[in-house]
Amino acid sequence: MSLDSTTRADLPTGTTGRTIVVLEPGARGEGEGLLRDVTGIRVQRVGDAPPGSVPGEDAYLDQLGIAILAADPDQVSALGAAAAGTELPVRSCEPEVYVRALGQHTAAVSADETYLAEEPGTDPATLWADSPNATWGIQAVHAAPPAGSRAPWAGSGITVAVLDTGVDLGHPDLAGVVVAHQSFVDGEEVHDGLGHGTHVAGTIAGAHTPPGGQRRFSVAPSARLAVGKVLSNEGSGSSGGVLAGINWAVSLGAPVISMSLGSAVAKGETYLQYYEAAAQAALDAGCLIVAAAGNEGYMPVGSPANCPSVMAVAALDRALLRASFSCVALNGDGGEVNIAAPGVDVYSSYPVARGSYAYLSGTSMATPHVSGVAAVYARATGLRGRELWARVVETARGTGQDAMLVGAGCATVPTRPPA
């Protein structure tokens, strides 16, 4: 992406000359051998590199099935041919691009974005980072307000339905937050045996001041949750169960329905009619469905986020750029990305039996940020359904990237100057 030349003309822009290769998920374990066979390159396995570390030349991120190669043009063309064909499990082959820290870009752009330099614990020359008081994600969506501002709404009186793996009802940071719960999984209580749902729930409405002294990680701490367990403790479910959960959430009148779930969609594939019908019925009833765009990389937005009446959420990294795993708008007719939110290294609640807190990444983590923002707007404006959708999208902050990648940009709650 381009850099505003009036701010830091000395910083590099455009492509780096390296190539990012994404393997099909099933080929992750054999990535090193595959790349050696196709390109002759011996890659260095990065393995469980800590968040924020930068891989060197010809690195292979084995957990992600992603290689970063300083390949010459001949090798790149071989990879490109592999990506275009079906004979090799190469999903995409794209040039690496320079990214820039938000603080380096924004100081001269708009007063609205000058807060980064003033945020306690945040160096303007670095990427967004968790502070002792707030995660980087809730800072980025302004739920932990910029210096010189306040966030006068926190979603009080708004119920957000979370359709996921349930929650740990005994988690201290969710005490008193869950006002309704129901399991749609045969033989399983609403308790979250996996962790996914507890993490999502915490990002929406975890305690404003966690009793254990943790940093705040919730966008709308005054909102309340209706927890529909539609995915089992193994993380599996069916679209029928998801629909049953939506039906329940609509019957409760939840203004926001958060769905960090879905299925991959092929290029040219359209949306499922039952999901679209459900989403339309929900909007008609004043319930906005927010769903994860998917983690398949440079692939179409997944289902049900690909429905025209479902708000599709992309994930942003700490530079507020599309995370490389986040699906993009390759299919029209609902397959757009509508909005984006932080989805990398997201700190939130986790089942007590699994350590109480965890960092997770994915569009599943970006989605509850948007759901929380929607809850705040629902409280602040009284808007519902399609009008709420419009407000959430039109107040997103552009990040400089194409709408195909991040939609309208980063979701943002309303703030005001101090009274």
Partner 1 sequence: MSGSTPLHRRTHHAPERPERPERQAVVVTITGRPLSTTLPALEECGLAVTSVLDQLGIVLGRADTPTRERLDLLPGVHVEAEQAVQLPPPDSLLQ
Stretch that binds partner 1, among 90-98, 143-151, 262-270, 396-404 (CB under 8 A): 262-270
How far is the C-alpha of 189 from the C-alpha of 166, rounded, in Å? 8
Applying CB under 8 A, among 15, 110, 209, 263 the residue interacting with partner 1 is 263
In the complex, least distance from residue 289 CB atom to partner 1, rounded to whole angstroms? 11
First to last CA, the chain: 38
In the complex, least distance from residue 357 CB atom to partner 1, rounded to whole angstroms? 14
Applying CB under 8 A, among 41, 43, 46, 64 the residue interacting with partner 1 is 64
Site string for partner 1, 176-215 (x = CB under 8 A): ------------------xxx--x----------------
How far is the C-alpha of 75 from the C-alpha of 340, rounded, in Å? 34
Q: Catalytic residues, which ones?
A: 164, 196, 364
Site string for partner 1, 272-311 (x = CB under 8 A): xxx--xx--xx--x------x-xxx-----xx--------
Give the sheet arrangement for strand 44-45, strand by strand. 44-45, 59-61, 66-69, 15-23, 90-97
Query: What sign has the CA pseudo-torsion 105, 6, 20, 49?
Result: negative
Q: Each residue of 206-220: b (16+ CB within 10 Å) or e? A: bbeebeeebbbbbbb
313 binds partner 1 (CB under 8 A): no
How many residues bind partner 1 (CB under 8 A)? The answer is 51
246 binds partner 1 (CB under 8 A): yes
Residue with Cβ nearer partner 1 (281 or 403)? 281
Backbone phi, then psi, for 346, in 5-degree steps? -95, 120
How far is the C-alpha of 317 from the C-alpha of 330, rounded, in Å? 20
Give the sheet arrangement for strand 339-342, strand by strand. 178-183, 224-229, 159-164, 256-259, 288-292, 311-316, 339-342
Q: Which parts of 363-402 are beta strand (E)?
A: none
335 binds partner 1 (CB under 8 A): no
Query: DSSP secondary structure string, 4-15?
Result: -TTT-TTS--SE
Specify the DSSP element, H or E, that contains 96: strand 90-97
270 binds partner 1 (CB under 8 A): no
329 binds partner 1 (CB under 8 A): no
In the complex, least distance from residue 49 CB atom to partner 1, rounded to whole angstroms? 10
**Residues of this chain, 104-133, that bind partner 1 according to CB under 8 A:** none
Please compute Rg for the chain using Cα positions.
21
357 binds partner 1 (CB under 8 A): no
Residue with Cβ nearer partner 1 (196 or 215)? 196
Site string for partner 1, 222-241 (x = CB under 8 A): --------xx---xxxxxxx
Helix 363-381 × helix 196-205 angle, to 10°: 30
How far is the C-alpha of 350 from the C-alpha of 194, rounded, in Å? 9
Residue with Cβ nearer partner 1 (292 or 383)? 292
For residue 176 the two structure tokens come to 């008193």
Site string for partner 1, 153-182 (x = CB under 8 A): ------------x-----------------
In the complex, least distance from residue 327 CB atom to partner 1, rounded to whole angstroms? 8
**Residues of this chain, 16-35, that bind partner 1 according to CB under 8 A:** 25
316 binds partner 1 (CB under 8 A): no
Q: Which residues bind partner 1 (CB under 8 A)?
A: 25, 63-64, 165, 194-196, 199, 230-231, 235-244, 246-247, 250-251, 260-264, 272-274, 277-278, 281-282, 285, 292, 294-296, 302-303, 325, 354, 360-365
